[in-house]
Amino acid sequence: MNSTPNAPAPAKLMPHLGLKGRNTFGLDAVADLAYEITAPEQIAAVMNQITEQNLPWRVLGGGSNVILPKVLPGVTLLMNITEQEIISSEQNATVISVGGGVNWHEFVVWTLENNLPGLENLALIPGTVGAAPIQNIGAYGVEIADYIDSIHAFDTKTNTFVTLAKEDCQFAYRDSYFKKHPQRFIVTNVIFNIPKVWQAKIHYADLAKQFEGNPNPTAEEIFLAVCKIRTLKLPDPKVIGNAGSFFQNPIIPNEQYETLLKKYAGLVSYPDAPGKRKLAAGWMIDQCGFKGQRMGEVGVYENQALVLVNHGNGTAQDILGLAKCIQDKVRKEFGVSLEIEPNIL
């Protein structure tokens, strides 16, 4: 059947594609079959092939939150949908549709350039817009879920496109329905709701220090401060492979927190839900002596113990081996379990 004039070209097939430059850890991985998805309409045909041939598959965006094995069997969908538009601008909010392949930081910059503040605390988080809600990315007191209206996605169970309301996404701390069910939906577009009334959020310690004596900074000033803090703390993946924060900050009951505080006066923590306290995983890892340590080709970043790094030729096995050493030591010392943040493919 001939395609219509406005139909997108079929997804580009790239067999045996090297992925070393497509994951921020810089892991030397190869995709057996890779398809570049530049339009939502391309997905159905690729998924039909996957189903007919019973192939394993996964979606790869910016590769900023994944740990890749040496070979990815089956099909890898490279998300590169980059359309972006303002759907509506009402009295209370602006609604924006953003393609899953748009670079997250570039989108944050665009919002500020268009006088749409709110996402500035999430500046410089690597990755794509489509991957952001899966992890429910967050930083300095803001989560992406705070600004999501809905998600457009391809439902692999029904082979149809669906719109998921915010409440259907089951957002929680670094979690979502998409993360719990990684092969149910393929996110194509994220619909953002940016309120017209804006308020600075600078209560996190590192950010608050930047604005001592300036309790009412602009969104642009917060953006620049966040970029400064992240640049000082986190290594550039172009220089040394990493996936940003490697462990989630654990949330514990207040009673357990009070017990730990008696033993560790300098324990770094933040208020969370009622009766809960969020501990700084990086501080605990540092106390266990891991900051700046190296184990073969991988190690812990010298300026931030929450970040694991690949010094050049590390593998997924190397990274996960180091992670287990850290988890075991923190559990033994503090009685707290650390959960890995990146997705292990």
C-alpha–C-alpha distance, residues 228 and 250, integer Å: 25
> Has 174 been annotated as catalytic?
yes
Q: What is the pLDDT of residue 96?
A: 98
Within-domain flag for 162: yes
pLDDT tens digit sequence for 176-187? 999 999 899 999
Whether residue 99 sits in one domain with residue 71: no
The CATH number for 18's domain is 3.30.43.10
User: Average per-residue pLDDT in the chain?
Assistant: 94
Whether residue 259 sits in one domain with residue 318: yes
Whether residue 60 sits in one domain with residue 108: no
C-alpha–C-alpha distance, residues 191 and 139, integer Å: 20
Q: Is the pLDDT of residue 100 over 60?
A: yes
C-alpha–C-alpha distance, residues 251 and 264, integer Å: 17
- Catalytic one among 22, 174, 230, 277? 174
Q: Is the pLDDT of residue 105 over 80?
A: yes
Whether residue 122 sits in one domain with residue 92: yes
Instruction: Identify any residues that bridge with 190 across adjacent strands, giving them in sequence order.
Output: 98, 151
Q: What is the pLDDT of residue 4?
A: 45
Cβ–Cβ under 8 Å, residues 122 and 112: no
Residue 1: pLDDT band by 50, 70, 90 thresholds? very low
pLDDT tens digit sequence for 263-273? 999 999 988 88
Dihedral angle of Cα 272, 273, 274, 279, to the nearest 10 degrees: -30
Alpha helices, H only, the chain:
43-53, 104-113, 132-135, 177-180, 205-210, 219-233, 254-263, 281-287, 316-334
Residue 189: pLDDT band by 50, 70, 90 thresholds? very high
Within-domain flag for 204: no
Q: What is the pLDDT of residue 225?
A: 97
C-alpha–C-alpha distance, residues 311 and 242, integer Å: 9
Give mean pLDDT, residues 291-314: 96
Residue 204: pLDDT band by 50, 70, 90 thresholds? confident
**Of 312, 309, 313, nearest in space to 300 by CA:** 309
Q: Is the pLDDT of residue 8 over 90?
A: no
- Catalytic one among 64, 97, 150, 245? 245
Question: 65-69, 232-236, 307-311, 328-332: which has the minimum mean pLDDT?
Answer: 232-236
Q: Is the pLDDT of residue 99 over 60?
A: yes
**Sign of torsion, CA 334 336 337 338?**
negative
Give mean pLDDT, residues 321-334: 98
Residue 150 parent element (H or E): strand 148-155
Q: Is the pLDDT of residue 233 over 90?
A: no
- Domain termination residue (choose one: 52, 79, 106): 79
Whether residue 181 sits in one domain with residue 92: yes
C-alpha–C-alpha distance, residues 262 and 219, integer Å: 38
**Sign of torsion, CA 236 241 243 245?**
negative
Give mean pLDDT, residues 204-225: 93
**Of 31, 71, 75, nearest in space to 49 by CA:** 75
Q: Is the pLDDT of residue 314 over 90?
A: yes
> Has 176 been annotated as catalytic?
no
Give mean pLDDT, residues 146-175: 96
- Domain residue limits at 58: 12-79
Instruction: Give me the half-sphere count of Cα atoms (radius 13 Å) on the Cβ side of residue 314.
Output: 28
- Domain termination residue (choose one: 28, 47, 79): 79
Residue with tokens 């041939």: 53
Q: What is the pLDDT of residue 303?
A: 92
Q: What is the pLDDT of residue 13?
A: 94
Within-domain flag for 216: no
Whether residue 188 sits in one domain with residue 141: yes
Whether residue 169 sits in one domain with residue 90: yes
| Total Cβ atoms within 10 A of residue 272 | 16
The number of distinct structural domains making up the chain is 3
| Total Cβ atoms within 10 A of residue 145 | 19
> Has 64 been annotated as catalytic?
no
Q: Is the pLDDT of residue 3 over 60?
A: no
Within-domain flag for 218: no
Whether residue 56 sits in one domain with residue 38: yes
**Which phi and psi angles does 10 have, rounded to 5°?**
-60, 155
Q: Is the pLDDT of residue 131 over 90?
A: yes
Q: What is the DSSP pairing of strand 160-165 with strand 148-155?
A: antiparallel
Give mean pLDDT, residues 206-225: 94
- Domain termination residue (choose one: 79, 106, 121): 79
Instruction: Give me the half-sphere count of Cα atoms (radius 13 Å) on the Cβ side of residue 294.
Output: 8
List of residues 6+ apart from 242 with CB closer than 8 A:
24, 25, 234, 235, 301, 307, 308, 309, 310
Say how many residues make up the chain: 345
Residue 16: pLDDT band by 50, 70, 90 thresholds? very high
Within-domain flag for 24: yes
Whether residue 130 sits in one domain with residue 52: no
Helices 104-113 & 219-233 angle (0-180, nearest 10): 160
Whether residue 93 sits in one domain with residue 183: yes
Within-domain flag for 209: no
Within-domain flag for 262: yes
Give mean pLDDT, residues 324-341: 97
Whether residue 95 sits in one domain with residue 72: no
Within-domain flag for 6: no
Whether residue 102 sits in one domain with residue 69: no
The CATH number for 105's domain is 3.30.465.10
Q: Is the pLDDT of residue 7 over 80?
A: no
**Of 165, 155, 140, 135, nearest in space to 64 by CA:** 135
